[in-house]
Amino acid sequence: MRVKLFLSICVFFLLCSVFASAALDLRFTTAITQHPDPANPGDEVMFYVNFKAVGADVTNMKIIGGIDGTQLLEHTWPKILAGKSEQGFIQGTATAGSHTAWFELDPDHTCGDSNYGNNRVKKHFSVTEGGPSGTPDLRLYVKSDPENLAVSDGDIVTFELTAMNLGTGDSSACEMEFKKGTSVLQTWAIPGMTHNWEEKRTYKWTTECGAVLNAKIDSKNTNAETNENNNTWSKMVVCGKYSDLIPVINYSPIFFKSGDSVKFTIKVMNIGEATANPSKLHIMSGGSYVADINVFPLKSGASTEITYFWNAICNGVISIIADAMNDNKETNENNNLLLKSMVCGQKRVNFTEGKPNKKLF
């Protein structure tokens, strides 16, 4: 009797083990995100989606993705831990018409997934000639003299503010303001602008070390724009000591082929003595601009990490530019640029440091 009872217990736990191993469920955890959204013909459009393995670890898990009938992504993860979120990424050039972006997990059904009904996700989107009803896009550029506010208390600084319409439609008349903290120092009336038209204004300011300056085009939100996130400029005035921003990069997988999604972890470090102003990190692939990322103020010795997914191109070059718009006076202006040469099928990392041409637009 005891032998039978023992065998019954063993069988019970063996069956529990089998059921546990069959509990793997690969599933998407977010809808597909499109950037830019909406897109115009000729835009480089990126699509992202998150997924995870629920219930168990999984090995050799493949994800594919594409737009309409064209597959643009095929990548295999050697191992994904249970509950860990991963991301799929595709990129393509927008053409006019209605399209569908899609991703699929484990398309060959080799992972033992318990539910294949949630392994595919898609997003329908449209690209319209001439942009979304001729929408404006106002952008603000600010220069200072002396450059980068390398000043002391009481110095006179002249600011040149340039407002430009980069959109596909005319903008309406609006206002532009210049502020110190929350106090408005100057307001200008800006007329309506056609595509690539610009309006310049100047303002003279007596330096106050430690002040935070802000400027904004379309300060009353008169215009509906394709991008509402490039209307502002901000800078903290730091006198005497300077910041020094440098990019450091890691990527995975080490071995990849054309079309794979390669994950870049970009660390922006401030190795200078002063707090760095808000700045921009630019990412370029093969000489083409692909991303413009805000970097918040960084204290001396501080750093921040940014994740970017690159649709691999054999013999491609990734360019990373810290402080791309020259928002900071730095102790070393020659270490903001990092180039990484990527070769399919092997690990090859070529670093080239130098001073970039920061006027990218």
Predicted confidence (pLDDT) per residue in 189-213, tens digit: 999 998 778 999 999 999 888 899 9
3 state DSSP class of 27: strand
Region 54-75 average pLDDT:
92
What CATH number was assigned to the domain covering residues 245-354? 2.60.40.10
Q: Is the pLDDT of residue 15 over 50?
A: no
| Rounded Cα–Cα distance for residues 159 and 178 (Å) | 10
Supply the DSSP symbol for 18: H
CATH 2.60.40.10 fits 20-127, yes or no: yes
Which residues, in sequence order, are bridge partners of residue 98?
126
Which residues, at least 6 apart from 269, have a Cβ–Cβ distance to it below 8 Å? Answer: 245, 246, 247, 248, 298, 302, 303
Supply the DSSP symbol for 55: S
The pLDDT score that the predictor gives to residue 248 is 93
Structure tokens belonging to residue 208 = 């106050």
Q: What is the pLDDT of residues 247-263, one digit of tens each?
A: 999 988 888 888 889 99
Which of the pair, 131 or 189, is modelled with greater confidence? 189
Protein fold of 138-236: Immunoglobulin-like (2.60.40)
Q: Is the pLDDT of residue 342 over 90?
A: no
Which residues, in sequence order, are bridge partners of residue 75?
63
- Asked if residue 305 lies in contact with residue 263, where contact means CB atoms within 8 angstroms, the answer is no
Q: What is the pLDDT of residues 174-184, one digit of tens each?
A: 999 999 999 99
| Rounded Cα–Cα distance for residues 47 and 68 (Å) | 13
Tell me where in the chain the CATH 2.60.40.10 domain(s) lie: 20-127, 138-236, 245-354
